[in-house]
Every structure is written in structure tokens, then in C-alpha cells.
Amino acid sequence: MAQRFRGSFTQKMDLARGQVSVPATFRAVIETADPDWVEGRKPQFVIVFGDHRRDYLECFTMTAMNEIDEAVDRMVRGSVEREMVEELFYGQSHPAEVQPDGRIVIPKPLREKVGLGESVLFLAAGDRFHIWNPATYAAKKVARTRDWLDRQPPDFDPASLLPGRTRG
């Protein structure tokens, strides 16, 4: 089983080139989860930029994308649901690779879509990671998480949400 992405990191972006360094721990996961990667090759992953409501970039390892491919293959061919999933995961995505210097290039249309500037927030999400404008993340996600936590009991343990665990 591939490692998981963990942590959050703010990195500086070279706006002229659209390049940003991927945190070293994230690079290790991308390498591990690319079945075709060998030393000396550029590890691959996929950036899903999504629909008009998406205000971050969601980056999937090749292993995670293979799992999505298998799930799509099990959907009814020609169904509206499959067509929508294919559009959102395939049509609104961009293949990417980590350069030997640890940087990735984020194309200008994707940077503009989610408002990326000089600072970029990399946020772990298990088998994928998100790339945010730090101000957008602070305005939207931090408040949402705080509101949700404030509605939980004072002794709330997030581990209680995991399958097989009891609340309390």
C-alpha cells in the first residue's frame, strides 16, 4: 500500500514560469504511488481542476487514478452519471510530472482558475493532495472546519468517525 500524504506546506511560486516546489514528503508519496516510476524518471500524477465550483486543484497519484479508472469502468457505459464522472475526472484534468529539481509546472489557466499567486498551499488529503491559494483556504475551509467542530460535543474525538469505531 502506498504511503499517504500528510501535513500542509506553503511554498513560493515562480509566477513567470508557473513552477512551484513540491514538498519533499509529497514527492516521496508521488514516486511510491507511480507504478511506472524508477530512479531517473519523472514521477507522474494527475491534477484535477474540476468544475466552476472548485476553488482548489486536487492532485491524484497514479495509483489513486488507477482506482478511479477501475471504478469508472464499472459504471454503466453511456449513463449520464458515467459521462459526468468522466468529464470531471478526465476532461477537467491535467497530467503532470515532478521535475528532477522537485518542481512542478502548473499551467496558467489552472493557476488563474483557482487564483494562485506567489504563495501556494499544499494540503494533504490521504491518497491525494490539494493545492490552494492560502487566502482562499483560510476564508473558506478554516471557518467551515471551525464551525463543524464547534457543533461537536466538548469531548469529541475525530477518530470516532472512523468505521469500526464507536462514538463517545
Give the pLDDT confidence of 118-144 residue by residue, as tens digits: 999 999 999 999 999 999 999 988 888
145 falls within a domain? no
92 falls within a domain? yes
Whether 2 has a pLDDT exceeding 80, the answer reads no
Three-state SS annotation for 35-94: CCCCCCCCCEEEEECCCCCCCCEEEEEHHHHHHHHHHHHCCCCCCHHHHHHHHHHHHCEE
85 falls within a domain? yes
146 falls within a domain? no
2 falls within a domain? no
101 falls within a domain? yes
Give me the sheet containing 8-14, strands edge to edge. 93-97, 44-48, 57-61, 128-132, 119-124, 8-14, 19-21, 103-105
Residue with cell 468544475: 51
CA distances from 96 to 4, 59, 104, 111, 148 (A): 19, 9, 7, 14, 34
CA distances from 131 to 49, 89, 159 (A): 10, 16, 25
Domain count, the chain: 1
122: CATH: 3.40.1550.20
Give the pLDDT confidence of 31-88 residue by residue, as tens digits: 999 999 999 899 999 999 988 889 999 999 999 999 999 999 999 999 999 999 999 9
Q: Are 82 and 91 in contact (CB under 8 A)?
A: no
168 falls within a domain? no
Q: What is the pLDDT of residue 1?
A: 43
Give the integer Cα–Cα distance in Å for 110 and 67: 24
Give the integer Cα–Cα distance in Å for 147 and 115: 25
Q: Which residues form the domain of 125? A: 8-134
Q: What is the pLDDT of residue 133?
A: 97
Termini Cα distance of the chain: 30
153 falls within a domain? no
